[in-house]
Amino acid sequence: MWSRRLAYLGILLAGGLFFIFFRGYLSYYVFLFLLALPVLSFLWLLASSFFVRVRVEADHSAAERREPFSFSVTARSSRFLPVPCLRLTLRVSNVLGGEAETESLLFSVFGGEMSASQLCRSSCCGKVVCAVRSARALDFLRLFSLPVRSGEPASVFVLPSRAPAPALVSELSLLPGFGELTLPSQPGDDFSEPFDVREYREGDALSRIHWKLTQKERTLMVREGGRSASRSLRFLIEYGADLRDTDCVLETFSRLAFLLAEHGVPAEVCWEGGGVLHTASFRGEEEASDLLGLLLSREPGGGVSALTLLSGEPRWKCAHLLYLTPDASGDCLSALAEEESAARFTVLLCGSRAQENSSPAVIPVLPDQADTCLAEVEL
């Protein structure tokens, strides 16, 4: 645009010299025309840009990894006041991380509606978002530009594999009511499964008095409630700094989750997002798919691990905690061993660092050997 402005100033200077050294109507009208031309061009741009709208739409709501998908960019203007030129800058990014790509589109003089397609492909799962970073209308001379309104970004979910993992589902997990298994570990309000019996304290309800034990001990004894697990399987998911490691973590979860959903085994999932620990549960394939969409939409957080957040708050005790992480350091394993919210732990080290860990307490999951690695898991 600056080159065109400099070119116009050169032409205007030539017209001024022509007007000065050549006295006559021709030089006067030429110089007047050169002065009025950018004004008329700007006024047309001002009127036409008011009616311009830009929107981005995804041709598909979801796609597989490495499968091509596209976004449609549509620009609409008035048929009676066509916009001289429209310049768009698109930003395509994966919300889980990775590098963002920018593309430029140029629509020449048009009135009505024009569309263009932006083809994309992603080798990692996540939520790919296409947004209009900049939309400006240009005048006929390309001397001025004005911003135009654009719609909301469009997104496509790039899904990991949902093929059930070749892991072993134990007979205990397949028992009816396994999801409501009670594992009292701390005092609570559920008196159907007492946690302990203790001496009476002021304020205790009389209905909680254990009369037989009171008669035996010759002092008032009351039942103390326990906490029961609403889900007996819990996934704890850590996101990696590298998009490929996160891709491996989410694919591992997806395959294990759809294996459980296939057998109707309920589970709870915990993950970090925005410095807060989020929790959701699933039982069937539809709920697992909705939960997978939440995990793919998670934006990079504040650097706090999900394990730290889990340890910092009291939770129902579960029968089995599966910790999916791209980095299983010694401190991480020590913190997991001290965690009292599960009766059994399984650590799945996913991604590029899986080969570097030799701890027997860790099951490595390599992206190119996922079936072999997941066959060692017992749920």
Query: Which CA distances in Å does 206 have to 8, 195, 211, 221, 223?
Result: 94, 17, 10, 10, 10
Predicted pLDDT at 229: 46
Task: Specify if 19 maps to a domain.
Answer: no
Cβ neighbours for 218, distance < 8 A, ≥ 6 positions apart: none
On the question of pLDDT at 231 being above 60, the answer is no
**Out of 17-31, 178-192, 261-275, 326-340, least confident range:** 178-192
What CATH number corresponds to the domain at position 93? 2.60.40.2030
Predicted pLDDT at 183: 46
Q: Are residues 129 and 248 in the same domain?
A: no
Domain end position, chosen among 174, 208, 226: 226
Q: How many residues does the chain have?
A: 379
Q: Are residues 151 and 83 in the same domain?
A: yes
Task: Specify if 192 maps to a domain.
Answer: yes
Predicted pLDDT at 91: 92
Domain end position, chosen among 142, 159, 176: 159
Q: Are residues 271 and 352 in the same domain?
A: yes
Sign of the Cα pseudo-torsion (329, 333, 338, 340, in order): positive
Rg (CA), the chain: 32
Task: Specify if 41 maps to a domain.
Answer: no
Q: What is the mean pLDDT of residues 248-275?
A: 86
Domain end position, chosen among 176, 208, 226: 226
On the question of pLDDT at 66 being above 60, the answer is yes
**Out of 75-89, 126-140, 333-347, least confident range:** 333-347
Q: Are residues 242 and 218 in the same domain?
A: no
DSSP structure string for 116-173:
EEEEE--SS-EEEEEEEEEEEEE-TTS--EEE-EE---EEEEEE---SPPS-B--TTT
Range of the domain at 287: 229-374
Residue 193 host element (H or E):
strand 190-199
Predicted pLDDT at 265: 82
Q: Are residues 112 and 211 in the same domain?
A: no
Q: What is the mean pLDDT of residues 74-92?
A: 88
Task: Specify if 215 maps to a domain.
Answer: yes
CA distance 153 to 159: 19
* Whether the model pTM is above 0.85: no
DSSP structure string for 33-64:
HHHHHHHHHHHHHHHHHTT-EEEEEES-SEEE
Q: What is the mean pLDDT of residues 203-216?
A: 76
Count of domains forming the chain: 3
On the question of pLDDT at 101 being above 70, the answer is yes
pLDDT above 70 covers a percentage of the chain that reads 82
- Hunting for tokens 């030429």 — which residue is that? 30
Query: Closest by alpha carbon to 53, among 150, 154, 152, 153?
Result: 150
Task: Specify if 94 maps to a domain.
Answer: yes
Task: Look at 32 and 311; give whichever has higher pLDDT.
Answer: 32
